Amino acid sequence: MNSKIYTLWMALFILPLASCGGGSSSPTPTNFNTTENTVQVNTSNTKPGWDLVWSDEFDANGLPNPSKWAYDTDHNRSGWFNNEKQYYAANRLENSRVENGKLILTARKERLTSASDFGGQNYTSTRLVTRGRASWTYGFFEIRAKMPCGRGTWPAIWTLGVGGPGGMVWPDDGEIDIMEFVGSKPNEVSATVHNGKYNWRGGIQPTTRIASVPDACTAFHNYQLTWTADKISIGVDDRIYFEYLNPKNSDLSAWPFDRPQYLLLNIAIGGDLGGAVDDSIFPVEMQIEHVRVYQAL
């Protein structure tokens, strides 16, 4: 894959927003900075100062590699969080396939009534996880992806904690939203973190920053997380627009990010953040060219 030069418009906002794991509010954001820059994107799988420890380049057609990815279907029967409307299918090429060097996640307007865990949903999609296959503490994560277009889509690239002392669960074991996209706002992507202190469910509302990426659903971009013992930094194409610092005050509720997290890729439909669904858009695809995880040398 050759390096690509493109123009990236970056506009940053701050607003309270919920995660893939919880509910949401959607106030009007306030623009505090806008810049225009020409960026040279490095698509090599080498990164100075970092060792590539896990990756999927999607070079074998068919279902996603089962040694690297599992399907999360846990809440199909009871219904997914945030009033989302999708059924997450497993081992179904119609919803997840590798083809011509890309992982393609597809959301469809259909009722999978034959599924044993069918919960009455009118849409199918996929939620892939590395849970039980791979997890990491710290590193540089890069996922090169193109978002689905269309009102009602809500794809995400994110991580969740594997659990901590005393059986910690969300939000206490942490969540990092590397990228969330809402089809009704096709020019924006967002990033945030959630933990026991900052979460939509009874904690302090977390801070989300939004980057303006006008071609998010028509072009591929590198969505990136740099996670160290000191801070979490999230960016697009080597441009950081979100940072969360370790307070270093032994407050586990504010910094649970010193233990492993696993990766998730999914397309949610509708829900508190996805909003009203335009049924004329289906099927829609989230395409991923590579997923790479590095750790510091």
Q: What is the pLDDT of residues 124-162, one digit of tens each?
A: 999 999 999 999 999 999 999 999 999 999 999 999 999
Range from 18-22, 158-162, 174-178 carrying the lowest mean pLDDT: 18-22
**How far apart, in whole angstroms, are the C-alpha atoms of residue 30 and residue 37?**
21
Q: How many domains does the chain have?
A: 1
> In which band, very low, low, confident or very high, does the pLDDT at 42 lie, cut at 50, 70 and 90?
low
Range from 19-23, 212-216, 217-221 carrying the lowest mean pLDDT: 19-23
- Looking at residue 31, what is its pLDDT? 33
- Considering the domain boundaries, does residue 34 fall inside one? yes
Residue 84 phi/psi, 5-degree rounding, is: -65, 155
Round the CA-based radius of gyration of the chain to a whole number and report it. 18
Range from 27-31, 55-59, 116-120 carrying the lowest mean pLDDT: 27-31
The domain of 91 spans 4-18+28-296
Q: Is the pLDDT of residue 276 over 60?
A: yes
What single string gives the DSSP state of each residue in 44-103?
-S--TTEEEEEEE---S-BS--TTT-EE--TTTTT--GGGB-EEE-SS-TTTEEEETTEE
Q: By C-alpha distance, which of 214, 185, 281, 264 is closest to 21?
A: 264
Q: Is the pLDDT of residue 97 over 60?
A: yes
Residue positions annotated with a catalytic role? 175, 180
- Considering the domain boundaries, does residue 250 fall inside one? yes
- Considering the domain boundaries, does residue 77 fall inside one? yes
Task: Please name every residue paired with 225 in a beta bridge, in sequence order, or none if there are none.
Answer: 141, 234
- Looking at residue 285, what is its pLDDT? 98
123-125 and 86-88: which strand pairing?
Answer: parallel
What type of residue sits at position 238? D
pTM over 0.85: yes
Using one digit for the tens of pLDDT, what is the confidence trace for 59-88? 999 999 999 999 999 999 999 999 999 999
Range 285-293 average pLDDT? 98
**How far apart, in whole angstroms, are the C-alpha atoms of residue 208 and residue 194?**
10
Average pLDDT, the chain: 88
Q: At which residue do the structure tokens 């590539």 appear?
A: 52
Looking up residue 152, the CATH number of its domain turns out to be 2.60.120.200
- Considering the domain boundaries, does residue 23 fall inside one? no
